[in-house]
Amino acid sequence: MKIEITIDESLCKACAYCIEACPKKNLEFSSNINKSGYHPVRVIDKSKCTGCGMCYQVCPEIAITVENES
């Protein structure tokens, strides 16, 4: 099963809820700055994502999508 996690950097407001919720501690702040002046979250290693969706569930901006592809 392939897992695809996507973070829309333009929507991210760097609240860090997803960073705290990730059981694999696989998210961190990017060094980039988005159009709103925030350092958006990025995935450290996509291969370590389990597809649990915790990051998606806690994101108040709906900036994260997680897809499980067979």
Q: Based on the structure, what is the number of domains in the chain?
A: 1
For 1-69, list the strands marked E by DSSP.
2-7, 27-29, 41-43, 64-69
For the chain, list the strands marked E by DSSP.
2-7, 27-29, 41-43, 64-69
Q: Tens digits of per-residue pLDDT, 2-58?
A: 899 999 999 999 999 999 999 999 999 999 999 999 999 999 999 999 999 999 999
pLDDT at 69: 80
pLDDT at 20: 98
pLDDT at 29: 98
Amino acid identity, position 70:
S
Note down the domain range covering 8. 2-69
Instruction: Tell me which residue has tokens 């919720």.
Output: 21
Q: Could you tell me the pTM of the whole model?
A: 0.92
Residue 70 has pLDDT above 80, yes or no: no
Q: What is the CATH number of the domain that holds 26?
A: 3.30.70.20
pLDDT at 22: 98
